[in-house]
Amino acid sequence: MSRIEGIIFDCDGVLFESKNANLAYYNRIMQQFSYPLVTEDQREHAKLCHTACSTDVLAVLVKPDDYQPALDYAATLDYREFIPQMQPEPYLAEVLQQLALEYPLAVATNRGVSVEPILSHFGIEDYFSAVVTSKDVARPKPAPDMLLLASKRLGFAPERCLFVGDSELDQQAAAGANVRFAAYGGLDAGEVRLQSHLQLLDSLAVLQA
């Protein structure tokens, strides 16, 4: 296999535990339009809120007549209000600092404009050479567009990049882009399976062999 030259990270569930923040964000929209709140025990809807872009989430959560008004309302919300409910994954900053000495790093996320304030809030924005969001491509994950653009911005062919993701959407995007895939946080997929960022350091030695 090709040597890994660049590393791309998903945001939610990989860089941060953000389920509470995402549910609070979407439930603000649900409340505004008098819909029942999404709860953790509604697994499919809760997972959707955590992994998909806003256009896809709201297409499922609200009626067609409310879809565009809900999108318009969402655009008025400042996600920085919800950032304090997010938590960086363990050892994240330490691992990013070490990786950035050897690899250019990128983020590829179905988030939109909220991702850069999040990276800045937690003081890790300088570790990333590229940030690709749903606003930068025609098709969000599971389409490969984000990873193709991220690898291009890093300056490497897709097959020379590793994508660290935690969902089936991430896995499908990696396969479509011909990007190598590391599964984070219990996802049963990928060349390697990571329970922590510390494991990524050891796994890279194996993947480069």
How far is residue 98's CA from residue 81's CA, in Å, rounded to a whole number?
Answer: 30
pLDDT the model gives residue 90? 94
- The arithmetic mean of pLDDT across residues 48-74, rounded, is 94
For 37-46, how does the pLDDT look when each residue is reduced to its tens digit (9 = 90+)?
999 999 999 9
More confident residue, 8 or 187: 8
Q: Say how many domains are in the chain.
A: 2
- Statement: residue 93 has pLDDT above 80: yes
Range of the domain at 61: 19-83
Q: Quick one: 91 and 74 in the same domain?
A: no
Contact by Cβ (8 Å): 108, 172: no
pLDDT grade for 189, boundaries at 50, 70 and 90: confident
Q: Quick one: 162 and 198 in the same domain?
A: yes
How far is residue 205's CA from residue 31's CA, in Å, rounded to a whole number?
Answer: 48
For 67-80, how does the pLDDT look when each residue is reduced to its tens digit (9 = 90+)?
999 999 999 999 99
pTM over 0.85: yes
**Looking at the domain assignment, is residue 1 inside a domain?**
no
Q: Quick one: 13 and 39 in the same domain?
A: no
By CB atoms closer than 10 A (0-12, 13-18, 19+), residue 126 is exposed
Q: Quick one: 115 and 73 in the same domain?
A: no
More confident residue, 203 or 128: 128
- Statement: residue 209 has pLDDT above 70: no
